[in-house]
Amino acid sequence: MKRIGAVSVRAIGEAMVEMAPVGDLYRRGFAGDTFNTAWHMARWLGPRAGVGMVTRVGADTVSDAFVAEMAADGMVVSGVARDARRGMGLYLIELDGVERRFHYWRDTSAARGLAEDPATLAAALRGVGLVHLSGITLAILPEAGREALFSVLERFRAEGGVVSFDPNIRMRLWGSAGEMQAVVTRMLGLTDIALPSLEDERAHFGDADAAAVVARMAAAGVAEVVVKDGAGPVTLCADGAMRQVATPPVAGIRDTTGAGDAFNAGYLAGRVLGLEAGACVGAGQRLAGVVLQHPGARAPREAVAALGAVG
């Protein structure tokens, strides 16, 4: 496994305003796949690592509240750029019994411009050991933004940085299946740690099983692949060896939202601390289990604290 040199992490992507139902009203919060991962890492690692977000938000009071919440939760906010013309994207959760539907308003999200200034983006990653991004990060960027991001990531890796990528495929954000497949495959060539879900890869790349996912990603140049499969075993390929790690049962599941993001957080937290790969998987499973037991994409702060040490 590629060593993470600096104990510093940045997630690149979009954080959104979340409107979650509470009775007949809605509670405002903030969420987003890479933000969820970074937030859980920051809460679980605490002062052992500097964890932040590289994104762009508005210059309004809602964006101010988001940045203030990040800082209060111990996250590094220096990578959050401001946009005077655009604000944060928004999504609303609609409940139908225990099922959740999501409605999105993100076409004018400031995060779509997070790579408009490549020099600023590169500066935000200077001195960082690990960068994490997702297929959603790539999908919301215009083509020029993707090219700028790819160039920055190439330099980041050339200087010793480690890149983690969760394909997290959401077809409604892509122009076509062909575009998505081409961009994701190109991103795999810049990836050190891949964190795909079997469901996504089977549906959108036709992989028969986790071993097929590992083989395709290894052929694209990824040395470390961790395939999530819900309650099924995690398939881990690291240092040329593949194995499966059983997923412990979780009692009292209330909401599956954000469980994959939390697994990513636990796995990457273990990697930052230099744990063995199997222990990193265990950390991811523990953190995902806590998220499953609570509503929403992020576990309560006290529930993360109750986990104790990473690994």
Catalytic residues: 261
Cite the DSSP H helix spans in 14-142.
Answer: 33-45, 61-72, 118-124, 135-140
For tokens 């020029």, name the residue.
144
* Tokens found for residue 76: 């590094």
* Tokens found for residue 57: 């938000």
Beta bridge partners of 25: 22
Give the pairing type, strands 234-238 and 224-227. Answer: antiparallel
> DSSP letter at 111?
G
Residue 279: count of CB within 10 angstroms of its CB: 16
Query: 4 with 162: CB under 8 angstroms?
Result: yes
Query: 136 with 34: CB under 8 angstroms?
Result: yes
Plot region of 89 (φ>0 → left; ψ -120 to 50 → alpha; else → beta):
beta
Report the SS3 class of residue 190.
coil
